[in-house]
Amino acid sequence: MSDLPAGALAAVLTAEPLDRLLDYRVPEGGVAMGDFVVVPLGPRRVAGVVWGPGQGGFDPSKIRTIAAVLDVPPMRAELREFLTRAADYTLTPLSAMLRLATRVPDLGAPPGSRVLLQRGGGTPDRLTPARARVLDVLDEHGGAGFPPGELAALAGVSSSVLKGLESQGVLVRIAAPRDMPYPRLDPRHGGHALSDGQAQVAAELRARVDALAYSTTLLKGVTGSGKTEVYLEAVAQALARGRQALVLLPEIALTGAFLDRVEARFGARPAEWHSGVTGAERRRLWHAVAKGEAQLVVGARSALFLPFRDLGLIVVDEEHDSSYKQEEGALYHARDMAVLRASLSGAAVVLASATPSLETWVNARAGKYGRLDLAERFGTALLPEMRAIDMRADGPAQGAWLSPPLVEEIRTRIAAGEQSLLFLNRRGYAPLTLCRACGHQLGCHQCDARLVEHRFLKRLVCHQCGESEPIPTACPKCAVEGRLAALGPGVERVAEEAAALFPDARIAVLSSDQTESARSLKARIEQIASGGADIVVGTQIVAKGHNFPLLTLVGVVDADLGLMGGDLRGAERTFQLIRQVAGRAGRAEKPGLALVQTYQPQHAVIGAILQGDEDAFWQAEAAAREDAGAPPFGRMAGIILTGPDEARVFEVGRRLAQSAGALRKLGAEVYGPVAAPIARIRGRFRARMLVKGPKGVLLQPALSAWRAGVEVPANVRVVIDIDPQSF
Ligand code: ADP
Ligand code: ZN
């Protein structure tokens, strides 16, 4: 069916950073809305999507003709609408949204025309570093095949290296698995007998999926209450109705265990979508999703942009997790986009969490979202007992971080063969290195940030830009030798202290350092889960859904850490993080204990954490947010101005502040520019502004006109962040 006949004009959206549609002449055979096409653009050919009838107004003799219509399922109206609305909401160019929706190599290449390289049975005669990198890439992707070009690029080797390996049988050629079907999932396979509470919630969720209409439901329940068990029943219902389902997870390292669980429930593995999936596999999945053959996709936030044929359910697991906010490029929040996408495709959304975001909690209170609670842990597992340790009275000696009561509990656990987890949300050995001779603090030369000592790496690392340098012996400022001191604790230092206290204990550090691959992290987590450590010292990575059955003690090393600083979300984050971490203790039959080290046991947030009176906490937080006119009670946009020239950055900010009349007329307030909390990153100065508007007014059109109305020099960047995560 063609909407536009040959010779007519079509407006084509490409992923090029142009910020407008381009007119092309429709070729023989016509085109339909949503068709994927190839169009000439300057000397190149690029892929695009027919977005509407041409606008005209150009010199007709200059208009070029669509070069080809690709043989792939057209983009459905619903996805086009989603991209348009998401672009409008986040003030992101539509072309950038299309880029998210077409992250697949060789979209339209004919089937069977491609070969992949895969691991063969041979061993290389010599293992050069280049060859080792090729094998590493293949190993990391569990034996998947790669297009030769992609494999060479990922391993950073030339094609001759691949040819050499091929001639020795280390690599073999196979046909691309594009048409290899996904195994069918059986909604009646597996499944546990549910407890009464679980069965009730599952029935409600099934009914919402059965309504074949949009709805959003908060599924709230402590860690171990069976949220996953129950939302898999909703997935089963979507599959039984012949609709597709999408489960979003906040962390790639978690997908492996989750896929195993899905396989146990449905008898086959679902499709998987995240940055660690190979290009060939992404391409296969993209086509299978478009054709409706992939019934269930498990993935990262970008899976929201896949071309589902009939999406019936989106689950956002750990919906409060801050990693759902994309902080680069298109600044979108996956939770909000899931709700938008579902509303356009008539799907149910399930937002699952033990500690929901305040936004979701308020939406549920207002009746905008449904709310279902799982009150208890499944089976005999009990919630951990929580106690504060008043560090003013019971703290450790100077230079130590573990209080005597906590140390005693760890000792008891080791004797009983149980695990302890020490949580500190600080990577590295020490957050501050200072010269005791002159007082100089070691900082990054391109960021306004301290250098953090990492003792395992034997380097000082900047957590902003990732640059690192060897640890000097003399102060770089006053050149005095031997007076540099590491101040304050990071996880490595806590691990060192634990090792000194318990020399025979096996100690593991879990920290999200960029140097570790997802695969190796996953392997270490599994090793810990199976009893391979007595004491685990970890950053916030341990808060995310890992199941450690032997863990019965959690020690929060510094509960006050997130409560300082002016961020309105500080209390919410601290509450979520400590409750989540504490929830790791005592999941199996053994009861858990969480000890919270704090210098301010009377603090309201610490009190709420200990009492576990969650609704009271959220009530108070909601009131504070409402007073501040902050989301979800008001609308906010953050403006981030960056550039190498500080004066220019601020000048643009001041001009924006002066020309905000239209925004103010809408009832919005404009604050700033002020230096950002980290005022320089990678040599670029950073200033922030904040626009706060009343809830009932959509600010985006005015924001967009505002930015467009101020002249911005080429070396200043202005980014608008709708619903910023920190304010
Ligand atoms: P949550 O997602 O809330 O943390 P899970 O669904 O992961 O909870 O359940 C916690 C543990 O209890 C899992 O190991 C799960 O398999 C088990 N479990 C939960 N409900 C049941 C049930 N009805 N029958 C058997 N095991 C269950
Ligand atoms: Zn830096």
What is the spatial distance between Cα 12 and Cα 32, in angstroms, rounded to a whole number? 11
**CATH code reported for the domain at 385-431+488-623:** 3.40.50.300
Residues with Cβ within 8 Å of 577's Cβ and at least 6 positions away in sequence, in order, are 425, 540, 543, 562
Digit-coded pLDDT (tens) for 671-702: 999 999 889 999 999 999 999 999 888 899 99
Structure tokens at 714: 């080429």
Closest residue by CA, ligand 1 atom 19: 226
229 lines ligand 1 (CB under 6 A): yes
Domain ranges (residues) in the chain: 3-102, 113-177, 196-374, 385-431+488-623, 634-722
Average model confidence (pLDDT) across the chain: 90
What pLDDT does 479 receive? 94
Please state the φ and ψ torsions of residue 542, each to the nearest 5 degrees. -75, -10
Q: How far is CA 61 from CA 22, 24, 57, 68, 144, in A?
A: 15, 11, 11, 20, 48
What is the spatial distance between Cα 689 and Cα 672, in angstroms, rounded to a whole number? 5
> Residue 208 — pLDDT band, cuts 50, 70, 90?
very high
192 lines ligand 1 (CB under 6 A): yes
Is 392 annotated to bind a ligand? Reply is no
Query: For the whole model, what pTM was predicted?
Result: 0.86
What is the spatial distance between Cα 191 and Cα 205, in angstroms, rounded to a whole number? 16
Closest residue by CA, ligand 1 atom 6: 226
pLDDT at position 110 over 80: no
Hey, is 98 helix, strand or coil? Answer: helix
Residue keyed to tokens 């085109």: 31
Q: Is the Cα torsion angle 190, 193, 198, 200 positive or negative in sign?
A: positive
- Kindly state the percentage of the chain with pLDDT values over 90: 63
Q: What is the mean pLDDT of residues 551-572?
A: 86
C-alpha 314 chain-centroid distance: 16
Sequence length of the chain is: 727
Amino acid, res. 608: A
- 680 CA → ligand 2 middle, Å: 8
**Regarding the domain delimited by 196-374, which CATH topology (the fold level of the hierarchy) does it fall under?**
Rossmann fold (3.40.50)
Provide the edge-to-edge strand list for the sheet that holds 370-374.
271-273, 296-299, 244-248, 311-317, 348-353, 215-221, 370-374
Count Cα atoms within 13 angstroms, Cβ side, for 76. 17
- Kindly state the percentage of the chain with pLDDT values over 70: 95
Q: Above 0.95 for ipTM, yes or no?
A: yes
pLDDT at position 589 over 90: no
**Regarding the domain delimited by 634-722, which CATH topology (the fold level of the hierarchy) does it fall under?**
Alpha-Beta Plaits (3.30.70)
Least confident of 68-82, 532-546, 709-723: 532-546
Q: How far is CA 702 from CA 129, 332, 637, 665, 666, in A?
A: 55, 19, 12, 10, 9
What pLDDT does 151 receive? 81
Is the CB of residue 586 less than 8 Å from the CB of residue 595?
no
224 lines ligand 1 (CB under 6 A): yes
- 654 CA → ligand 2 middle, Å: 27
Is 664 annotated to bind a ligand? Reply is no
Digit-coded pLDDT (tens) for 21-42: 999 999 999 999 999 998 999 8
Least confident of 90-94, 393-397, 625-629: 625-629
Is the CB of residue 421 less than 8 Å from the CB of residue 550?
no
- Nearest one of 243, 383, 227, 378 to 317, comparing CA atoms: 227
Is 213 annotated to bind a ligand? Reply is no
Q: Which of 200, 223, 225, 229 to mutate to test the pocket of ligand 1 (most atoms within 8 A of CB)?
A: 229
Residue ranges with strand state E in 603-664: 634-643
What is the spatial distance between Cα 578 and Cα 564, in angstroms, rounded to a whole number? 15
Hey, is 556 helix, strand or coil? Answer: strand
Which-ligand-closest: CA of 678?
2
- 251 CA → ligand 2 middle, Å: 25
Q: Do domains 113-177 and 385-431+488-623 have the same CATH topology?
A: no
Q: What is the mean pLDDT of residues 332-353?
A: 97
pLDDT at position 180 over 80: no
Digit-coded pLDDT (tens) for 592-610: 999 999 999 998 889 888 8
Residues with Cβ within 8 Å of 18's Cβ and at least 6 positions away in sequence, in order, are 95
DSSP H/E element including 49: strand 44-53
What pLDDT does 616 receive? 83
Q: Which residues, listed in sequence order, are joined to residue 53 by a DSSP beta bridge?
A: 10
- 478 CA → ligand 2 middle, Å: 22
Residues with Cβ within 8 Å of 139's Cβ and at least 6 positions away in sequence, in order, are none
pLDDT at position 320 over 50: yes
Count Cα atoms within 13 angstroms, Cβ side, for 426. 25
Residues with Cβ within 8 Å of 98's Cβ and at least 6 positions away in sequence, in order, are 13, 14, 15, 48, 49, 83
> Residue 179 — pLDDT band, cuts 50, 70, 90?
low
What is the spatial distance between Cα 613 and Cα 154, in angstroms, rounded to a whole number? 49
Q: What is the mean pLDDT of residues 543-572?
A: 84
Please give the biggest Cα pair distance in the chain.
85
- The minimum-distance atom of ligand 1 relative to the CA of 223 is 4
What is the spatial distance between Cα 73 and Cα 85, in angstroms, rounded to a whole number? 22
Tell me which of 305 and 328 has the higher pLDDT.
305
pLDDT at position 124 over 90: no
Digit-coded pLDDT (tens) for 233-279: 999 999 999 999 999 999 777 788 889 999 999 999 999 998 888 77
What is the spatial distance between Cα 405 and Cα 399, in angstroms, rounded to a whole number? 17
What pLDDT does 382 receive? 67
- Nearest one of 270, 255, 284, 248 to 184, comparing CA atoms: 270
Closest residue by CA, ligand 1 atom 9: 226
Q: What is the mean pLDDT of residues 152-177?
A: 85
Q: What is the mean pLDDT of residues 306-321?
A: 96
Hey, is 389 helix, strand or coil? Answer: strand
Is the CB of residue 39 less than 8 Å from the CB of residue 66?
yes
Structure tokens at 311: 């999406």
3-state secondary structure 427-462: CCCECEEEECCCCCECECCCCCCEEEEECCCCEEEE
Torsion angle of the four alpha carbons 94, 96, 97, 102, in this order, in degrees rounded to the nearest 10:
120
Residue 479 DSSP label: -
What pLDDT does 276 receive? 80
Amino acid, res. 12: V
Is the CB of residue 720 less than 8 Å from the CB of residue 638?
yes
Is 438 annotated to bind a ligand? Reply is yes
Which-ligand-closest: CA of 462?
2
Q: How far is CA 71 from CA 36, 53, 110, 142, 517, in A?
A: 8, 21, 8, 30, 37
Q: What is the mean pLDDT of residues 278-306?
A: 91
Closest residue by CA, ligand 1 atom 24: 192
pLDDT at position 148 over 90: no
Q: Which residues, listed in sequence order, are joined to residue 297 by a DSSP beta bridge?
A: 246, 271
Residues with Cβ within 8 Å of 351's Cβ and at least 6 positions away in sequence, in order, are 216, 217, 218, 219, 316, 319, 335, 360, 369
- 228 CA → ligand 1 middle, Å: 7
DSSP H/E element including 153: helix 148-155
**Regarding the domain delimited by 3-102, which CATH topology (the fold level of the hierarchy) does it fall under?**
GIY-YIG endonuclease (3.40.1440)
Residue keyed to tokens 């200059």: 62
Q: Which of 219, 355, 378 to mutate to test the pocket of ligand 1 (most atoms within 8 A of CB)?
A: 378
Closest residue by CA, ligand 1 atom 20: 226
| CA triple 718-665-668, angle to 5 deg | 55
Residues with Cβ within 8 Å of 312's Cβ and at least 6 positions away in sequence, in order, are 209, 212, 238, 241, 243, 244, 245, 345, 346, 347, 348
Which-ligand-closest: CA of 449?
2
Hey, is 217 helix, strand or coil? Answer: strand
226 lines ligand 1 (CB under 6 A): yes
- 433 CA → ligand 2 middle, Å: 15
227 lines ligand 1 (CB under 6 A): yes
- 727 CA → ligand 1 middle, Å: 36
- 225 CA → ligand 1 middle, Å: 6
Which-ligand-closest: CA of 257?
1
Q: How far is CA 259 from CA 189, 270, 583, in A?
A: 15, 7, 22
What pLDDT does 457 receive? 86
What is the spatial distance between Cα 597 and Cα 574, in angstroms, rounded to a whole number? 13
What pLDDT does 112 receive? 46
> Residue 141 — pLDDT band, cuts 50, 70, 90?
low
Closest residue by CA, ligand 1 atom 18: 226
Structure tokens at 106: 């060789």
Is the CB of residue 588 less than 8 Å from the CB of residue 384?
no
> Residue 166 — pLDDT band, cuts 50, 70, 90?
very high
Is 503 annotated to bind a ligand? Reply is no
pLDDT at position 640 over 70: yes
- 681 CA → ligand 1 middle, Å: 43
540 lines ligand 1 (CB under 6 A): no
Digit-coded pLDDT (tens) for 459-513: 999 988 889 999 999 999 999 999 999 999 999 999 999 999 999 999 999 987 7
> Residue 111 — pLDDT band, cuts 50, 70, 90?
very low
Q: Say which CATH class 113-177 falls into.
A: mainly alpha
What pLDDT does 562 receive? 84
